[in-house]
Amino acid sequence: MEVPSLQGLGLEHGVLTKEKEKEIDKKGQSLKIGIPKEASAEERRVAISPAGVATLVANGHEVLVGEGAGEGANFPDTEYADAGASLIPSAKDLYGQSTLIVKVGPPTSEEAGLLKERQVLISALHLGNMSLDVLKRTQELGVTGLAFEFIRDSDGSLPIVRMMHEIMGSMAIQIAARYLETNEDGRGVMLGGISGVPPSNVVILGAGVVGEWAARTALGFGAHVIVLDNDLGALRALEHYLGRGITTAMATDQYIRQAMVTADVVIGAMMTAGYRAPVVATEDMVASMRDGAVIVDTVIDQGGCIETSQPMTHSDPVFRRHGVIHYCVPNMPSNAARTATYALTNVLVPYVLKIGEAASVNEALWMDVGLRNGTYVYRKHITKKSLATIFGVPHRDIELLIASGI
């Protein structure tokens, strides 16, 4: 007998966007939103799901989707067409017809060549391998660039970064468990051990969101978990949420070195938002680790926090150094493309709607702190000090630029 209240409840209903449909008012603008197929074969995510497209269309916007954009996340073109999107076979045509581009990966040199003047671009930046040529191209065209890494709400949270970091933290442990197996030339041990056999030691460098979700997942496996960070408050919060099942310590050279000697798994998760990740584990620390141990550097897209890390790809994800298996793939959530796409949709669609509700991009940035914080290039100026420092170029304050109307 069916329970009436549960009829029609689907597995994915909980992750579909629930934005309320709202008509564009007189001050708003109808946007032409382009969602291109990602240029990199390694990127399987798409910025917005068909459900998110339906919400944008219902709010009076036109959505252009590159043919095959959702294939990697198992969203066929027919779902986008049914949601009201126009399918565009040519990337050149999609960029040329759109006023706002929303994508996952940072624009490649080829994609930067397709951008047009005063376009709005929302994407990730990946500060660890950001291209100066691409940045200069966005400046020259007067593009308004918003980066996932910088979008910060009034409560101080980084909503897109947090979503991706939750995925990365959980995936890091799943990946480490696989590479510990004998079949992958790992140590041949289980994370949680069994009766009479002690669990593996998992060392997590960083008590941020990635570290938290890595710790949650490792505890779920039954591993012995040590988390190190320089922020005592973050360690205290982690113990509060996860209980005394984890061991915490300050991330001094001494404690890191001691922890890595006996580690079966090291998760690199030390980062500062908007900056290159600090290197906290040196090569000699890695050399002291057990043969067949596993390192997963989850912040490799920010440069990595372990000295021996180097960027790899999904098709060639690991290398060994000092007998230790290293997994250093910049876009880890791409391997959970469908989940990651839903997560991106839930955060990105409300921001795009806010841009549409304003009379101009200038007004949208002024009215919404998240969008304003997310802007890294505006009116031909770099607006992020951290980004300007990386390339040794000048920057301008975003609020002054908006207020001045330059």
- Domain boundary residue among 286, 301, 330? 330
In this structure, the answer to whether residues 344 and 325 fall within a common structural domain is no
Torsion of CA 368, 372, 375, 378, to 10 degrees: 100
Q: Determine, yes or no, domain membership for 101.
A: yes
The CB-side HSE value for 23 (13 A sphere, CA atoms) comes to 2
In this structure, the answer to whether residues 350 and 301 fall within a common structural domain is no
pLDDT band at 406 (very low <50, low <70, confident <90, very high): low
In this structure, the answer to whether residues 256 and 373 fall within a common structural domain is no
Question: What are the b/e assignments for 377-406, b being 16+ CB within 10 Å?
Answer: bbbebbbbebbbebeeeebbebeebbeeee
Q: 82: domain CATH number?
A: 3.40.50.720
| Residue 306: DSSP 8-state | B
List C-alpha distances in Å: 348 to 26, 52, 55, 124, 315: 23, 9, 12, 12, 28
What is the C-alpha to C-alpha distance for residues 324 and 160, in angstroms, rounded to an integer?
Answer: 32
Q: Determine, yes or no, domain membership for 28.
A: yes
Please give the pLDDT value at position 144. 96
End-to-end CA distance of the chain: 67
- Domain boundary residue among 300, 330, 360? 330
In this structure, the answer to whether residues 305 and 378 fall within a common structural domain is no
- Residue 226 structure tokens: 């040590």
Amino acid code (one letter) for 158: L
What is the C-alpha to C-alpha distance for residues 43 and 305, in angstroms, rounded to an integer?
Answer: 23
Q: Determine, yes or no, domain membership for 389.
A: yes
* Domain that includes residue 294, residue range: 168-330
Tokens 């669609």 label which residue? 349
In this structure, the answer to whether residues 188 and 250 fall within a common structural domain is yes
User: In 3-state terms, what secondary structure has residue 321?
Assistant: strand
Q: What's the structural domain count of the chain?
A: 2
Average pLDDT over residues 133-161: 91
Contact status, residue 91 vs residue 26, Cβ threshold 8 Å:
no
Catalytic site residues? 126, 301
Question: Is residue 61 scored above 90 in pLDDT?
Answer: yes
What is the C-alpha to C-alpha distance for residues 80 and 88, in angstroms, rounded to an integer?
Answer: 11
Question: Is residue 146 scored above 90 in pLDDT?
Answer: yes
Average pLDDT over residues 83-87: 98
Question: Is residue 256 scored above 60 in pLDDT?
Answer: yes
pLDDT band at 3 (very low <50, low <70, confident <90, very high): very low
pLDDT band at 12 (very low <50, low <70, confident <90, very high): very low
What is the C-alpha to C-alpha distance for residues 271 and 38, in angstroms, rounded to an integer?
Answer: 26
Question: Is residue 235 scored above 50 in pLDDT?
Answer: yes
In this structure, the answer to whether residues 325 and 237 fall within a common structural domain is yes
Q: Determine, yes or no, domain membership for 253.
A: yes
- The bridge status of strand 381-382 relative to strand 375-378 is antiparallel
Please give the pLDDT value at position 6. 39
Q: Which of 147, 143, 135 is nearest to 119 (CA)?
A: 143
Please give the pLDDT value at position 331. 84
Q: Determine, yes or no, domain membership for 7.
A: no
Question: Is residue 25 scored above 70 in pLDDT?
Answer: no
In this structure, the answer to whether residues 200 and 323 fall within a common structural domain is yes
Q: Determine, yes or no, domain membership for 1.
A: no
Phi, psi of 226 (to 5 degrees): -120, 125
- Residue 335 structure tokens: 């391997």
The crossing angle, in degrees rounded to 10, of helices 337-357 and 159-179 is: 170
How high is the mean pLDDT of the chain?
Answer: 91
Q: Determine, yes or no, domain membership for 11.
A: no
* pLDDT per position as a tens digit, 329-377: 988 999 999 999 999 999 999 999 999 999 899 999 999 999 999 999 9
Which element (helix H / strand E) includes 274? none
In this structure, the answer to whether residues 185 and 148 fall within a common structural domain is no
Query: Above pLDDT 90, what percent of the chain?
Result: 78
The contacts of residue 28 (CB under 8 Å, 6+ apart) are 60, 356, 357, 358, 359
In this structure, the answer to whether residues 174 and 61 fall within a common structural domain is no
- Tell me, yes or no, if the pTM score tops 0.85: no
Task: Compute how many other C-beta atoms are within 10 angstroms of the C-beta atom of residue 224.
Answer: 21
In this structure, the answer to whether residues 185 and 119 fall within a common structural domain is no
* pLDDT per position as a tens digit, 92-133: 999 999 999 999 999 999 999 999 999 999 999 877 677 889
What is the C-alpha to C-alpha distance for residues 382 and 394, in angstroms, rounded to an integer?
Answer: 7
Given CA atoms 106, 335, 74, 30 in this order, what sign does their dihedral have? Answer: negative
What is the C-alpha to C-alpha distance for residues 97 and 259, in angstroms, rounded to an integer?
Answer: 54
What is the C-alpha to C-alpha distance for residues 244 and 313, in angstroms, rounded to an integer?
Answer: 36
In this structure, the answer to whether residues 375 and 280 fall within a common structural domain is no
Please give the pLDDT value at position 24. 45
Please give the pLDDT value at position 59. 96
Please give the pLDDT value at position 282. 97
What is the C-alpha to C-alpha distance for residues 375 and 138, in angstroms, rounded to an integer?
Answer: 12
- Domain boundary residue among 312, 330, 348? 330
Please give the pLDDT value at position 27. 65
Query: Above pLDDT 70, what percent of the chain?
Result: 92
Of 6-20, 27-41, 109-123, 310-324, the range with the lowest mean pLDDT is 6-20
* pLDDT per position as a tens digit, 158-202: 899 899 999 999 999 999 999 999 999 999 999 998 999 999 999
In this structure, the answer to whether residues 200 and 112 fall within a common structural domain is no
- The bridge status of strand 324-327 relative to strand 318-321 is antiparallel
Q: Determine, yes or no, domain membership for 268.
A: yes
What is the C-alpha to C-alpha distance for residues 256 and 259, in angstroms, rounded to an integer?
Answer: 5
- The bridge status of strand 294-297 relative to strand 318-321 is unpaired
Given CA atoms 336, 130, 401, 100 in this order, what sign does their dihedral have? Answer: negative
Please give the pLDDT value at position 126. 77
Phi, psi of 299 (to 5 degrees): -105, 30
Average pLDDT over residues 235-245: 93
What is the C-alpha to C-alpha distance for residues 316 and 9, in angstroms, rounded to an integer?
Answer: 39
